[in-house]
């Protein structure tokens, strides 16, 4: 697409493991936009909470975590070789650690804390203020950028999502089994959709894509075509 076309904001929300980040990353690359994986930011805070023993199976020191926010400095740093930005927490690369099943198990309660959301939403708005951004998460079209020119809501059958996630983890040699992944997805969807602050919802101006029976390429083509239409619509 020509560089003279106006830059828009693209919000991609949806359930866990629907391929949001893969498609968002690819779309940003194709359009020459910035990609922001907001899930990575909630995962980074969760990693910090686990490392500092603020959360485990029996306890969650919410006040301790809220008081620690001022000591949590998050940054995305672009890795040329990998072709995407990696998450840094207080100058340390934690891209691999935040994808573990342990972090996945604790991220939803952390993401339900209003102070954590406020802290991260401010940073997300700052990152997208110049437009030309593809941001994926749960509340991008509803809270972070309610005026986004294009809002996409991704969904897919839960069993298919768990199978895809299992394959992905196996390819990366990460320990995983179907049952654990499926239960984790179900639990996260439940907490993410029912929390009081910024729950996952399909806003009325979002376009729904069901990714159950389409492959990654078809999913990308659908999203790209919607993006082209939205960009042209804003000339």
Q: Which residues bind ligand DC (CB under 6 A)?
A: 16, 38-39, 42-43, 107-108, 111, 137-139, 188, 192
CB neighbours of 190 closer than 8 A, spacing ≥ 6? none
User: Exposed, middle or buried by CB within 10 Å (0-12, 13-18, 19+), for 86?
Assistant: middle
Q: What angle do CA 150, 112, 23 make, to 5 degrees?
A: 35
Q: Which residues contact 162 (CB under 8 A, 6 or more apart)?
A: 17, 178, 181, 182, 185
CB 107 → ligand DC: shortest distance, Å?
4
Question: C-beta of 46: minimal distance to ligand DC in Å?
Answer: 8
CB of 233 to ligand DC, least distance (A): 25
Between CA 51 and CA 34 the distance in angstroms is 30
**Whole-number Å distance between alpha carbons of 113 and 110:** 6
Is the CB of 107 or the CB of 209 nearer to ligand DC?
Answer: 107
Tell me whether residue 185 or residue 231 sits nearer to ligand DC (CB atom): 185
Residue (128 or 137) nearer to ligand DC, CB: 137
Q: Tell me the CB-side half-sphere exposure of residue 3, using CA atoms within 13 A.
A: 1
Output 68 or 100, the one with its CB closest to ligand DC: 100
The sign one gets for the Cα dihedral 102, 105, 38, 206 is: positive
- By beta-carbon proximity to ligand DC, the closer residue of 195 and 231 is 195
Minimum gap (Å) between residue 154 Cβ and ligand DC: 11
**Nearest distance, CB of residue 75 and ligand DC, angstroms:** 17
- Rounded Cα–Cα distance for residues 142 and 193 (Å): 13
Contact 208, 226 (CB under 8 A): no
In the complex, the smallest distance separating the C-beta of residue 115 from ligand DC, rounded to whole angstroms, is 13
When the beta carbons of 101 and 214 are compared against ligand DC, the nearer one is 101
């Amino acid at each position: 697409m020509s560089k003279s076309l106006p830059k828009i904001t693209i919000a991609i929300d949806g359930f866990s493991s629907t391929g949001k980040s893969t498609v968002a990353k690819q779309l940003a690359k194709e359009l020459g936009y910035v990609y922001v994986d907001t899930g990575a930011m909630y995962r980074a805070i969760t990693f910090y909470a686990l490392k500092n023993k603020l959360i485990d199976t029996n306890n969650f020191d919410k006040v301790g975590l809220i008081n620690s926010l001022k000591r949590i400095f998050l940054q995305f740093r672009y890795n040329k070789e990998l072709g995407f930005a990696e998450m840094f927490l207080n100058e340390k690369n934690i891209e691999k650690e935040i994808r573990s099943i342990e972090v996945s198990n604790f991220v939803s309660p952390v993401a339900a804390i209003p102070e954590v959301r406020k802290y991260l939403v401010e940073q997300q708005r700052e990152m997208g203020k110049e437009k030309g951004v593809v941001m994926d998460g749960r509340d991008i079209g509803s809270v972070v950028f309610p005026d986004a020119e294009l809002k996409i809501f991704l969904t897919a059958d839960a069993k298919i999502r768990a199978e895809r996630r299992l394959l992905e983890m196996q390819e990366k040699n990460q320990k995983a089994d179907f049952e654990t992944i499926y239960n984790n997805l179900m639990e996260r969807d439940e907490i993410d959709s029912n929390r009081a602050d910024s729950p996952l919802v399909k806003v009325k101006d979002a376009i729904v894509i069901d990714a159950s029976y389409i492959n990654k390429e078809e999913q990308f083509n659908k999203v790209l075509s919607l993006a082209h239409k939205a960009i042209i619509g804003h000339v």
